C-alpha cells in the first residue's frame, strides 16, 4: 500500500515540474520558444513560476558569474524539497567558451548535484526537450532530491587568493613614463571621413575645458570612454568619444595618464552619463576620476576581488587556469 502511494506521488510530481523563473544567462534566450508557441512545454506539465517557494527545479542556463551563483544558491535554499538542478549550455558544465573568464565559476556541479546536462552552445529549444522528457522519467522513477555541496570554503578561498594578488599588485612600483604625445586639438590627429570620426589629442589638464567647449559646439552625446593600457610606455590612454547630435560626426578626444598616478578630472557634470562610464573605467582599469561623487566597485562587486582586470599586466587567463582547472588549460 505504502509503495503504491509512493509511486502515485512520484507520478503526480513528474507531471508538474515547475521551474524557477530566473533567466540566469544567455541560454534563457531560447526559453520563450520552449515555453510558448513552437514547443509549448506545458504539454509536459512544465511551467515557470516567479517564486522559488512554489518551484521544483532550477535550471542553470549558461555561464555562471560568481554573483549569479551566490543568488542561485539562495534560490535553491528557498525551494521546498524535493528539488532538482538541471543544466543546459556548455559554460555551466566546463566553463565553455569562457574558459578564461575571471568572473565566472566553471562548473555547476561544484555547487550542486546535477540531474541532467544538455550540451550545446547554446542548445536549441528542441534539445531541451530531451531533458524535459528525461527529468520527468527520473522523477517518476523516484529521483532523490539534489543537494548543495560544500561551497562556502571554495568561494572563500578563491576570493582570498584574489585579495592577496591585489595587494601584491598595488605594492609593485610602476614603470616610468616613456611616451611621446603631441597635443593637436582642435586639429585632428587621425581622420576617418567614412565614419565621420576624428581623433584629436589634448593634455589631461585641459580635458575638462576641451570637453566643455565641444559640448557647446554641439557634441552633446558622450558615447564612451575607452581606456587602453600601455605598460611598456607606462601610460594609460583615454579616449572620450563624443558625438555631434546635429550632423552625427564623432570626435574622440585622446588623452593619457601615467600609470603611477592614474588620475583625471571627472566630467560627470558636463555629460551626465559619464557618472556610470567613469565608474566602469575605474573598476576595470584602475583610473581614478577626481571629483566623482561615488567611485566604487559596481559591476565587479561580488565578481572579482583582484587587481583591475583589464590592465595589460594582469594575466587573468593563467590565474583562471591555475585556480579553476588545476593548471591544465584543456581540463574541465
Partner 1 sequence: MVLSTIVKSIEYMLKRPYTRLVPAKSRPFKTERLRGAHLLDMSKCTGCSMCQLVCPANAIDMVEVEGNYPQNPRRRFPRIDLHKCTYCGLCVEYCPFNALYMTSITGFELYTRDKKTTLKTPLELSKVDPSLITVRREMLAVKEVKPGG
Partner 2 sequence: MAGSYTVYFGPQHPGAPGNIGFKLELEGERVVKAELIPGFLHRGFEKMIENRKWENSYVLSYRFCVEDPDSLEVAYAEALDKVFRVEPPEKARYFRMIQAEFSRIASHMFWVHFMAGSTGLRTPAYWASAAREEILKWFAWVTGHRVYHNFSVPGGIRGEVPEGFGERTTQLTYLVEDIVKDVEKALLGNRVFKRRTRGVGVIKGDVALKLGATGPVVRGGGLKYDTRKIAPYERYDKVSFEIPVGEVGDSYDRALVRFREVYESLKIIRQAVLEVRRGEPYRVKVPLTAPPGRGYARVEAARGEYTVHVVSTGGRSPYRVRFKSPSLPLLTTVLNYILENEEVTIADLPVIFASLDPCAPDIDR
Task: Collapse the DSSP code of 59 into the 3-class scheme (helix H, G, I; strand E, B; otherwise coil) and give the result.
Answer: strand
Residue 184 interacts with, from partner 1, partner 2, none (CB under 5-8 Å by kind): none
Question: Does 214 contact partner 2 by CB under 8 A?
Answer: no
Question: Rounded distance, CA 292 to CA 49, Å?
Answer: 41
* CA dihedral (327, 312, 163, 108) positive or negative: negative
**What binding mask, one character per residue, do residues 90-119 give for partner 2 by CB under 8 A, x or -?**
-------xx-xxxxx---------------
- 162 sits near partner 2 (criterion: CB under 8 A): no
Cell 582599469 -> residue: 285
**Residue 332 binding result from partner 1, partner 2, none, given CB thresholds of 5 to 8 Å by partner type:** partner 1
Please tell me whether residue 315 binds partner 1 under the rule CB under 8 A. Answer: no
C-alpha of 23 from chain center: 14
Work out the burial of residue 248: count CB atoms within 10 Å of its CB; fewer than 13 is exposed, 13-18 middle, 19 or more buried: exposed
Among 45, 48, 120, 231, binds partner 1 (CB under 8 A): 120
Q: How many CB atoms lie within 10 A of CB 296?
A: 9
**The binder of partner 1 chosen from 101, 115, 233, 255 (CB under 8 A):** 115
Q: How far apart are CA 51 and CA 39, in angstroms?
A: 23
- Closest listed residue to residue 58, CA positions, set 135, 120, 156: 135
Residues 133-162 that bind partner 1 (CB under 8 A): 133-134, 138
Rg for the chain, CA atoms, rounded:
26
- The residue within the footprint of partner 1, chosen from 24, 103, 131, 238 (CB under 8 A), is 131
| % helix, strand, coil for the chain, step of 5 | 35, 20, 45
Is 113 near partner 1 (CB under 8 A)?
no
Considering the rule CB under 8 A, would residue 208 count as an interface residue with partner 2? Answer: no
Q: Which residues 5-64 are close enough to bind partner 1 by CB under 8 A?
A: 37-40, 43
Tell me if 226 contacts partner 1 by CB under 8 A: no
Interface residue list for partner 1 (CB under 8 A):
37-40, 43, 88, 90, 93-97, 99, 109, 114-121, 123-131, 133-134, 138, 329-330, 332
Amino acid at each position: 500500500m505504502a509503495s503504491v502511494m509512493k509511486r502515485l506521488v512520484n507520478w503526480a510530481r513528474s507531471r508538474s515540474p515547475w521551474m524557477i523563473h530566473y533567466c540566469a544567462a544567455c541560454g534563457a534566450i531560447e526559453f520563450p520558444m520552449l515555453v510558448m508557441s513552437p514547443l509549448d512545454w506545458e504539454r509536459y506539465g512544465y511551467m515557470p513560476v516567479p517564486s522559488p517557494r512554489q518551484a521544483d527545479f532550477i535550471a542553470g542556463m549558461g555561464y555562471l558569474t560568481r554573483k549569479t551563483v551566490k543568488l542561485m544558491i539562495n534560490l535553491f535554499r528557498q525551494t521546498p524539497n524535493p528539488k532538482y538542478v538541471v543544466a543546459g549550455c556548455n559554460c555551466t558544465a566546463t566553463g565553455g567558451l569562457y574558459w578564461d573568464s575571471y568572473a565566472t565559476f566553471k562548473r555547476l556541479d561544484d555547487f550542486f548535484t546535477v540531474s541532467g546536462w544538455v550540451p550545446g552552445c547554446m542548445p536549441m529549444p528542441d534539445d531541451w526537450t530531451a531533458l524535459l522528457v528525461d527529468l520527468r522519467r527520473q522523477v517518476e522513477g523516484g529521483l532523490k532530491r539534489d543537494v548543495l555541496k560544500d561551497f562556502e570554503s571554495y568561494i572563500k578561498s578563491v576570493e582570498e587568493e584574489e585579495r592577496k594578488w591585489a595587494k601584491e599588485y598595488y605594492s609593485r612600483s610602476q614603470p616610468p613614463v616613456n611616451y611621446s604625445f603631441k597635443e593637436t586639438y582642435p586639429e585632428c590627429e587621425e581622420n576617418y571621413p567614412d565614419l565621420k570620426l576624428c581623433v584629436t589629442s589634448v593634455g589631461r589638464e585641459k580635458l575638462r575645458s576641451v570637453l566643455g567647449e565641444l559640448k557647446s559646439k554641439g557634441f552633446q552625446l558622450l558615447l564612451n570612454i575607452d581606456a587602453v593600457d600601455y605598460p611598456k610606455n607606462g601610460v594609460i590612454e583615454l579616449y572620450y568619444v563624443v558625438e555631434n547630435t546635429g550632423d552625427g560626426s564623432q570626435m574622440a578626444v585622446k588623452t593619457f595618464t601615467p600609470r603611477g598616478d592614474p588620475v583625471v578630472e571627472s566630467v560627470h557634470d558636463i555629460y551626465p552619463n559619464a557618472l556610470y562610464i567613469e565608474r566602469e573605467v575605474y573598476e576595470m582599469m584602475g583610473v581614478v576620476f577626481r571629483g566623482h561623487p561615488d567611485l566604487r566597485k559596481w559591476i565587479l562587486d561580488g565578481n572579482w576581488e583582484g587587481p583591475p582586470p583589464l590592465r595589460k599586466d594582469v594575466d587573468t587567463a593563467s590565474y583562471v587556469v591555475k585556480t579553476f582547472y588545476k593548471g591544465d588549460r584543456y581540463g574541465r
